[in-house]
Chain A
Amino acid sequence: MKREDGRKPDEIRPITMKAGVVPNANGSALVSFGNTTAIAAVYGPKILHPRRIQLPDKAFLKTVYNMVPFSTKERCRPGPSRRSKEICLVTRQALEPAVFAEEFPKAGIEVYIDVIEANAGTRTVGINAASIALADAGVPMKGLVTSVAAGKIGNEYMLDLAGKEEEETACDLPIAYMPEQDKITLLQMDGDLTAQDAKKVMELAVKGCKLLYKKQREALENRWIPKVKK
């Protein structure tokens, strides 16, 4: 079965990853899969306000996911929505296991993810960008976090659903995965799958994540190696 944009079933849309795009942030990254683009900026660890959300034993990872009004075909209403709140939460939960937050008690690590172009898979693109930005900011981490969605259309397992595929699929299953640790930090499932299918889809997504990891490394190397070596 051919895909809408002629990709192979286990192929991700064209990937761009770039670190260090926001000069004022401690760390930042731009990631795009095809027509989905997100910019992540990390500030901190720094003094956290309001004081009541400070944690006595570790840093608070504050993630803000936002879709800018011009990101979709129809203008989308600015400000937080039910959907964006959920994505903030899952992004935080996907990144938290990777960060050594206990090194900065009471502090806050702020991760701002702005989706400037949305066409399916914004949360996965956002997590990829946030992970590069955190590493770029010099936040101590166990390893990078990669993320991609997979699903099943007809009898085929497909990676990185986009466009119409999202409607056709029986299930959309985004995961976040730490390749160095071989751990899954986010697993959502939207739809129905048999246990066997879910396993297959997850395996496919993990395979995609390993490829993304290489791209993330490249992005960080391109940013820092010219500064380090002549």
Chain B
Amino acid sequence: MVEVKTEEKEAKKEEGKEPAAVPEKGEDTGQQPAAGLLKNDRDFVIPGDKLVETIDYLPGKNCFREGDSIIAKKIGLVSVNGRVVSVIPLNEVYVAKAGDMVIGEITEIQSNGWVVNIDATVEAYMPLSGVREFIDTNKTELSRYYATGDVIYAKISMANHSTVHVSMDDSRARKFRSGRIIKFNPAKVPRLIGKQGSMISLIKGKTGCRISVGQNGVVWLEGENEDLAISAINLVKDESYIEGLTDRVSELLDKAAPAAKAEPSKPAESKPDKNKPAEKEEKV
């Protein structure tokens, strides 16, 4: 087993040596996958494709084990990380995960909470305990806080099996009173945020828009250059898996709006996290 590990490392080193060798379709390049692997890193796979035929690797996300082999569950790109083989999905729907910040719409008011549509596989529920204020349900209508049709930026406080609870008990959570909502592909949200929030702060900085990204693939934005920001976001959506994305987004923003603010509006202030989408919104 140790052998396999070293061999794999060597293969990685080799890849590192020639940055020109952008991995292409497995069959086209003469590149041999590391021992035990049937696919190269970043190879395109469809459901049912065998990735590994030995017991030396572990199935990661979007893969499953059958006998000794590991098989892909979704269309995507192979990702080999040490001994873990996983598939980066190219298309998927959002599945709620505790701790995610999402954008959702209040669809129903019940006796002690709200039903929220967060574009996931099930409806989310916001109990009264999810709101910071104390609410006396005998005296006040719940719609005074959140009415149907309101759009909120909330945290998923619980997601188990088929029940999802959201809460406003987070410094980033808020209700949107104006601005625009666009739908994005949830599989590509990590690209839109970028490493350490680099992509989203680039768009924010160059367009001067306020943007909130929900992990569920819903994006809220407001500002003078909304259209420009949307076209940048669409570029991320269409070309998210081609290398040099940041440069192209930056180019697009510079070309389309030389008049737009030249001074980056202090992206340093934001402290984004890869898993947690947008940073603290400046109070309007």
Q: Are chains A and B native binding partners rather than an unrelated pairing?
A: yes
Chain A residues with CB under 8 Å of B242's CB are 227-230
Interface residues of A in 161-176 (CB under 8 A from B): none
Interface check A135, CB cutoff 8 A: yes
Interface residues of A in 135-182 (CB under 8 A from B): 135-144, 178-181
Chain B residues with CB under 8 Å of A104's CB are 95, 121
The main secondary structure of chain B at its interface with chain A is loop
- Whole-angstrom distance between the alpha carbons of A135 and B47 in the complex? 7
Say whether A140 contacts B93, CB under 8 Å.
Answer: no
Complex: chain B residue closest to A51, CB-CB? B123
Instruction: Map CB proximity to B onto A45-64 as digits: 1 under 8 Å, 0 otherwise.
Output: 11100000000100100000
Complex: chain B residue closest to A139, CB-CB? B74
Interface check A208, CB cutoff 8 A: no
Say whether B162 contacts A141, CB under 8 Å.
Answer: no
Say whether B93 contacts A135, CB under 8 Å.
Answer: no
Which of B84-92, B166-174, B222-230 lies at the binding interface?
Answer: B84-92
Say whether A136 contacts B91, CB under 8 Å.
Answer: yes
Interface residues on chain B, number (Cβ under 8 Å): 36
Complex: chain B residue closest to A43, CB-CB? B93
**Which of A138, A142, A143 is the most central at the interface, judged by chain B CB atoms within 10 Å of its CB?**
A138
Say whether B121 contacts A107, CB under 8 Å.
Answer: yes
Say whether B238 contacts A227, CB under 8 Å.
Answer: yes
Which of A27, A47, A217 contacts B46, CB < 8 Å?
Answer: A217
Assuming the A-B contacts A47-B122, A140-B74, are A228 and B44 also in contact, with contact meaning beta carbons closer than 8 angstroms in the complex? yes
Which of A33-41, A77-85, A218-226 lies at the binding interface?
Answer: A218-226
**Which of B49, B62, B73, B187 is the most central at the interface, judged by chain A CB atoms within 10 Å of its CB?**
B73
Chain B residues with CB under 8 Å of A135's CB are 46-47, 74-75
Interface check B243, CB cutoff 8 A: yes
Chain B residues with CB under 8 Å of A180's CB are 48-50, 71
Chain B residues with CB under 8 Å of A44's CB are 93, 121
Instruction: Map CB proximity to A onto B235-255 as digits: 1 under 8 Å, 0 otherwise.
Output: 000110111000000000000
Give the shortest distance, in Å, between B105 (CB) and chain A (any CB): 12
Give the shortest distance, in Å, between A144 (CB) and chain B (any CB): 6
Say whether A225 contacts B46, CB under 8 Å.
Answer: no
Interface check B233, CB cutoff 8 A: no
Interface check B10, CB cutoff 8 A: no
Give the shortest distance, in Å, between B185 (CB) and chain A (any CB): 9
**Which of B25, B75, B89, B241 is the most central at the interface, judged by chain A CB atoms within 10 Å of its CB?**
B75
Chain A residues with CB under 8 Å of B187's CB are 138
Chain B residues with CB under 8 Å of A179's CB are 48
Which of A47, A137, A144, A225 contacts B25, CB < 8 Å?
Answer: A225
- Whole-angstrom distance between the alpha carbons of A143 and B50 in the complex? 10
Interface check A26, CB cutoff 8 A: yes
- Whole-angstrom distance between the alpha carbons of A135 and B238 in the complex? 19
Interface check A106, CB cutoff 8 A: yes
Interface check A100, CB cutoff 8 A: yes
Give the shortest distance, in Å, between A11 (CB) and chain B (any CB): 25
Chain B residues with CB under 8 Å of A230's CB are 22, 242-243
Which of A46, A47, A142, A224 contacts B75, CB < 8 Å?
Answer: A224
Chain A residues with CB under 8 Å of B22's CB are 229-230
Say whether A26 contacts B75, CB under 8 Å.
Answer: no
Which of A56, A98, A106, A138 contacts B74, CB < 8 Å?
Answer: A138
Complex: chain B residue closest to A226, CB-CB? B242
26 contacts between A and B (CB under 8 A): A27-B91, A45-B121, A46-B93, A46-B121, A47-B122, A56-B162, A106-B121, A135-B75, A138-B91, A138-B93, A138-B187, A142-B48, A142-B73, A180-B48, A180-B49, A220-B75, A225-B25, A227-B90, A227-B241, A227-B242, A228-B242, A229-B22, A229-B44, A229-B242, A230-B22, A230-B242
For the A-B complex with A100-B73, A136-B75, A224-B44 known, give 5 more contacts whose Cβ atoms are closer than 8 Å: A26-B91, A104-B95, A136-B91, A224-B75, A230-B22
* 9 residue pairs, one from A and one from B, having the closest CB atoms: A143-B48, A180-B48, A107-B121, A138-B91, A141-B47, A138-B92, A140-B73, A105-B162, A106-B162
